[in-house]
Structure 1
Amino acid sequence: MSDNDLTCDAFLGGLVHLWQPKNGYRAGVDPVLLAASIPAVSGQSVLELGCGVGAAVLCLGARVRGLTLTGVEREPTYATLAARNGGAELEVITADIATLPLALRQRQFDHVLANPPYWRRGASVAANDPAREAALGEQTPLQVWIATAAKRLVPKGQMHVIHRAERLPGLLAALPTDMGSIEVLPIAAREWRAAERVILRARKSGRADFRLHAPLILHRGDHHRDGDQYTPAVRNALRTGAALTF
Structure 2
Amino acid sequence: METSTDRVLGNRLQLMQPRDGYRAAIDPVLLAATIPAKEGQRVLDLGCGVGTAALCLAARVAGIAVHGIDLQPALVALAVRNAAANGLADRVTFAAGDLLAFKDGGFDHVLVNPPYLARETASISPNPIKALANVEGEAKLRHWVEAAIAAVKPGGSVTFIHRADRAGELCALMAAGLGNLRQLPLLPRAGAGAKRVILQGERGAPPGFRMLQAWPLHEADGRFTALTDAVLREAAALPLNELSQELSLTDPA
One fold, TM greater than 0.5? yes
Task: Give the alignment of 1:163-174 within 5 angstroms.
Answer: 163-174=162-173
Distance 1:99 1:37 in 2: 27
SS of the equivalent of 1:34 reads helix
Shift of 1:124: 2.1
RMSD: 1.2
**2:225 alignment partner in structure 1:** 231
SS of the equivalent of 2:10 reads helix
SS of the equivalent of 1:172 reads helix
SS of the equivalent of 1:31 reads helix
| Percent of aligned pairs sharing the same letter | 39
SS of the equivalent of 1:116 reads coil
Instruction: Please say if 1:61 is aligned against 2:61.
Output: no
Instruction: Please say if 1:193 is aligned against 2:192.
Output: yes
The code of the aligned residue for 1:117 comes to P
SS of the equivalent of 2:206 reads coil
Query: Number of residue pairs matched?
Result: 234
Distance 2:208 2:128 in 1: 41
Distance 2:122 2:32 in 1: 27
Shift of 1:107: 3.0
Shift of 1:110: 0.4
Report the TM-score, using the length of structure 2 for normalisation: 0.90
Shift of 1:14: 1.1
Instruction: After superposing the two structures, state which structure 1 stretch, 133-142 or 168-177, moved more.
Output: 168-177
Instruction: After superposing the two structures, state which structure 1 stretch, 162-171 or 208-217, moved more.
Output: 208-217
Q: Which structure 2 residue ranges, 5 or more long, are not aligned?
A: 241-253
Distance 1:216 1:41 in 2: 24
Determine which of 3, 7, 29 is the counterpart of 2:26. 29
**1:40 alignment partner in structure 2:** 37
Task: Give the alignment of 1:62-81 within 5 angstroms.
Answer: 62-81=59-78
SS of the equivalent of 2:162 reads strand
**1:137 alignment partner in structure 2:** 135
Distance 1:40 1:215 in 2: 23
Distance 1:76 1:36 in 2: 26
Distance 2:82 2:210 in 1: 35
**1:113 alignment partner in structure 2:** 111
The code of the aligned residue for 1:60 comes to L
Distance 2:237 2:225 in 1: 14
**2:160 alignment partner in structure 1:** 161
Report the TM-score, using the length of structure 1 for normalisation: 0.92
Q: Is the 8 A contact 1:48 1:112 kept in 2?
A: yes
Cα deviation, 1:18-71, whole Å, max 9, x if unaligned, reads 110100100111000000111111111100001000000100111101111100
Cα deviation, 1:160-212, whole Å, max 9, x if unaligned, reads 10000111111122126331010000000111101110000000001263110
Q: Is the 8 A contact 2:178 2:207 kept in 1?
A: no
**2:12 alignment partner in structure 1:** 15
Distance 2:147 2:168 in 1: 18
| Closer/same/farther in 2, CA of residues 106 and 59 from structure 1, 3 Å limit | closer
**2:249 alignment partner in structure 1:** none
**2:250 alignment partner in structure 1:** none
Q: Is the 8 A contact 1:154 1:204 kept in 2?
A: yes
Distance 1:118 1:177 in 2: 20
The code of the aligned residue for 1:240 comes to E
SS of the equivalent of 1:154 reads strand
Q: Is the 8 A contact 2:58 2:92 kept in 1?
A: no
